[in-house]
Amino acid sequence: MGNRTHTEVSVARQSPQRPDADEPELDETDASAAADEVEVDRPAADRTLWDEVRIDPVEIALPAGTGFTLRAYRTARELTPTDVAERDEDDPFLARRQVVETEEDEEVVILDEEFAALSAEKDDEDEEKDSGARRRGKTADADADADAEESEDDEDEDDAGDEEVPVFLSHKGRLLLFKTPESLVTFIRSGAPNDLSQLDSWNELSERLEPADIAPLDEDTYELDLVVENLRGGHDAWDPALLIEAGEIARDLSYALRLPAVLDMLSAGSSLDDLDEALRASVNGGIGGFLGRRRLKKIGAQTASLGWRTIVGKISAVVDWRD
For 294-307, write each residue's pLDDT tens digit: 999 999 999 999 99
Q: Give me the residue spans of the domains in the chain.
A: 48-84+165-322
Task: Sort strands 170-171 and 319-322 into parallel, antiparallel or unpaired.
Answer: unpaired
**Which region among 19-28, 145-154, 222-231 has the lowest average model confidence (pLDDT)?**
19-28
* Among 302, 174, 170, CA closest to 235: 302
Exposed, middle or buried by CB within 10 Å (0-12, 13-18, 19+), for 301? Answer: middle
Average pLDDT over residues 279-291: 88
Separation CA 299–CA 278 (nearest Å): 9
* Percent of the chain topping pLDDT 70: 64
For the chain, what is the radius of gyration of the CA atoms? Answer: 27
* pLDDT at res. 5: 40
Separation CA 204–CA 98 (nearest Å): 50
* Among 293, 309, 310, CA closest to 238: 293
* Percent of the chain topping pLDDT 90: 59
Exposed, middle or buried by CB within 10 Å (0-12, 13-18, 19+), for 73? Answer: middle
* Among 214, 188, 187, 218, CA closest to 201: 188
* pLDDT at res. 142: 52
For 99-137, write each residue's pLDDT tens digit: 333 344 443 333 344 434 444 454 455 455 445 444 544
pLDDT confidence bin for 323, thresholds 50/70/90: confident
For 185-236, write each residue's pLDDT tens digit: 999 999 999 999 999 999 999 999 999 999 999 999 999 999 999 999 999 9
When mean pLDDT is compared over 84-88, 111-115, 149-153, 181-185, the highest value belongs to 181-185
DSSP state letter for 6: S
Residue 143 has pLDDT above 90, yes or no: no
**Which region among 191-200, 282-291, 312-321 has the lowest average model confidence (pLDDT)?**
282-291
Q: Are 250 and 225 in contact (CB under 8 A)?
A: no
Residue 3 has pLDDT above 70, yes or no: no
Written as one string, the DSSP assignment of 134-193 is: GGTT--HHHHHHHHHHHHHHHHHHHHHHHSEEEEESEETTEEEEESSHHHHHHHHHHT--
For 33-73, write each residue's pLDDT tens digit: 444 444 444 445 689 999 999 999 999 999 999 999 999 99
Exposed, middle or buried by CB within 10 Å (0-12, 13-18, 19+), for 297? Answer: exposed
